[in-house]
Amino acid sequence: MCELLGMSANIPTDICFSFSGLMVRGGQTAAHKDGFGVTFYEDKGCRTFKDALPSCQSEIAKLIKQYPIKSCCVISHIRQANRGRVSLENTHPFSREMWGRDWTFAHNGQLKGIKLLKLSWYQPVGTTDSEHAFCWLLSRIKDKYPNKAPRDMKTLFRYVDKLAAQLNAMGIANFFLSDGRYLYCHCSNNLHWITRRAPFGVATLQDVEMTVDFKQETTPNDVVTVIATKPLTTNEHWHQMQSGESALFNLGELTPL
């Protein structure tokens, strides 16, 4: 299985602390050694870094850990290959353009029979069940909204919720989907989140000796939500999502669907 890491914030924020915890799980403290990737959104644009090497060994991962790229929406993934060979094209996150925006997807789990689902607007580059699921999701969304997004994006994500239930029936479908403004998270069996806001405290990573005092790194108005497969810190309360549950975040806040 793989691991996911996402962030939604109301002010551009770096993910160096959380990524430091995820990075060592990529082949050092856990077996997710078959590549990693991370996408940072900046306004309508995004930058994606990928490597087929284990994140614990990757020079690209070291750059991300040390270079504080600030973003309001981030999606990251470390891979333990089950379907598809270890290669750059099979490394998450995957991105496609829809309605003039970049959409990004990362998935943890296996989906039996996913490639029997027909695609229309989008086709995979690699051979993973995950990328096929992403292309299927976007194809179904664009079939429903061919020209532009609905005015109320919650309407769109309620439709995504129905599609996610179909994926859930095919296996394990823990995944993130984002257009850079909204971060949609679906849990099949393993996903946790935490929202940090004032008064900020001290957090200690679980997988590496590292502590940060968020009070020294933030302003009183900051709201930052981190979503991960497993909690990254030892001294904070993370919300555990239930099987079949979805969560939508916008600018750090949980947004009811």
Residue tagged active-site, from 2, 56, 73, 135: 2
Q: Two tokens at 126? A: 């690699």
**Pairing state between β 192-197 and 182-186:** unpaired
On whether the CB atoms of residues 14 and 74 are closer than 8 A, the answer is no
Check residue 205 and report its DSSP letter.
B
Determine the Cα–Cα distance for residues 59 and 70; give it in Å rounded to an integer.
19
Q: Which residues pair with 204 in a beta bridge?
A: 211
Give, in order, the Cα–Cα distances in Å from 84 to each of 30, 41, 124, 172: 20, 27, 12, 16
For residue 114, give the 3-state DSSP assignment.
helix
On whether the CB atoms of residues 77 and 32 are closer than 8 A, the answer is no
- The amino acid occupying position 160 is V
Mark whether 46 is an active-site residue.
no
What are the residue numbers of the active site? 2
